[in-house]
């Protein structure tokens, strides 16, 4: 198979590595496994252009994206539209989609898993047509990302500490908004602190990721309007994997839904796979079963055992 790897030199742990050396090692590894690898190193601002060029090149049979969750999400959206298999090289802070795939988080093992992996098809979701592989969020999640983006950090640990500081800052005045949920199970209106829609239902781990990526269902999670103390308790429950038992949280599974925000304020944001976007008055969320081609690690290398 002829594969092109696009490495974001400004993304996550790749910023600290000798990427020429990494590319040389990867090229030799893939050759031993019977593949031809073209490894391309690009700046963060050029990643999407390079991914699209690879997806549109008829000589390229699969694309590997190396970087953080933002890079991987952009690559998945391009793979969804081009129908060209995507390999995920995790180099971010959380690596949420990579975890759901069962991809090893060490770069050398991840490269081996891709080189020995097989093409599979999994679900992908869209929010008003914008693809996402992990989660669309409104309310507390968007506020946390906005606060954290205003902080300075230079490492994975620094980003995690910034996230903790953002939680404390957001808890002083928790968001409170009205949202209408329209699903095949009925309609309801809730006053909430947060709403999260995941590509497949989430597991109970301290870093929640999809239990499977082929259920054909969205996970819908609503945190009712809470006080500062209740929000801090919820944050602790999320970090300890006990969030499902928190009385502020309700959940359901649906194929698609529409969220409406009748009192949306100008300048309000949503977050899609960790990236802030403007929140629209209505958001149409859909699950696209088995619409994303990916390279899955061989069963004996999957970190999630699935």
User: In this structure, are residues 148 and 161 in contact, taking their beta carbons and an 8 Å threshold?
Assistant: no
Apex CA 288: angle with CA 283 and CA 293, to 5°?
Answer: 130
Task: State residue 159's pLDDT score.
Answer: 59
DSSP 155: S
What are the pLDDT digits (tens) for 100-129? 999 999 999 999 999 999 999 999 999 999
Q: Tell me: pLDDT of 169 over 80.
A: no
Q: Tell me: pLDDT of 164 over 70.
A: no
What are the pLDDT digits (tens) for 29-88? 999 999 999 999 999 999 999 999 999 999 999 999 999 888 999 999 999 999 999 999
Tell me, rounded to whole angstroms, the distance of Cα 140 from its chain centroid: 17
Residue 267 region by backbone torsions, left for phi larger than 0, else alpha for psi between -120 and 50, else beta: left
Q: Tell me: pLDDT of 156 over 60.
A: no
Query: 209 or 151, which is more confident?
Result: 209
Task: State residue 163's pLDDT score.
Answer: 62
Task: State residue 131's pLDDT score.
Answer: 97
> Could you tell me the pTM of the whole model?
0.90
């Amino acid at each position: 198979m002829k594969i092109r790897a696009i490495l974001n030199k400004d993304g996550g742990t790749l910023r600290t590595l000798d990427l020429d050396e990494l590319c040389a090692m990867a090229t030799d590894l893939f050759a031993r496994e019977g593949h031809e690898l073209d490894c391309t190193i690009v700046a963060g601002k050029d990643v999407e252009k390079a991914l699209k060029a690879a997806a549109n090149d008829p000589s390229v049979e699969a694309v590997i994206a190396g970087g953080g969750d933002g890079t991987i999400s952009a690559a998945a959206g391009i793979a969804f539209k081009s129908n060209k298999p995507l390999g995920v090289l995790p180099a971010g802070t959380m690596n949420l989609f990579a975890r759901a795939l069962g991809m090893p988080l060490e770069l050398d093992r991840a490269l081996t898993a891709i080189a020995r992996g097989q093409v599979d098809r999994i679900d992908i979701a869209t929010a008003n047509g914008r693809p996402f592989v992990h989660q669309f969020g409104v309310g507390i999640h968007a506020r946390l990302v906005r606060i954290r983006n205003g902080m300075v950090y230079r490492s994975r640990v620094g980003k995690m500490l910034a996230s903790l500081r953002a939680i404390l800052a957001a808890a002083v005045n928790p968001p409170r908004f009205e949202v209408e949920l329209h699903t095949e199970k009925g309609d309801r209106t809730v006053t909430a602190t947060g709403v999260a829609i995941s590509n497949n239902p989430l597991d109970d781990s301290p870093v929640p990721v999809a239990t499977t990526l082929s259920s054909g269902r969205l996970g819908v999670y609503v945190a009712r309007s809470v006080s500062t103390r209740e929000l801090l308790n919820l944050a602790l429950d999320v970090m300890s994997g006990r969030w499902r038992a928190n009385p502020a949280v309700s959940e359901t599974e649906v194929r698609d839904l529409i969220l409406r925000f009748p009192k949306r304020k100008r300048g309000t944001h949503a977050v899609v796979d960790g990236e802030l976007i403007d929140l629209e008055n209505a958001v149409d969320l859909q699950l696209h079963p088995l619409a994303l081609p990916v390279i899955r690690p061989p069963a004996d290398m999957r970190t999630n055992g699935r």
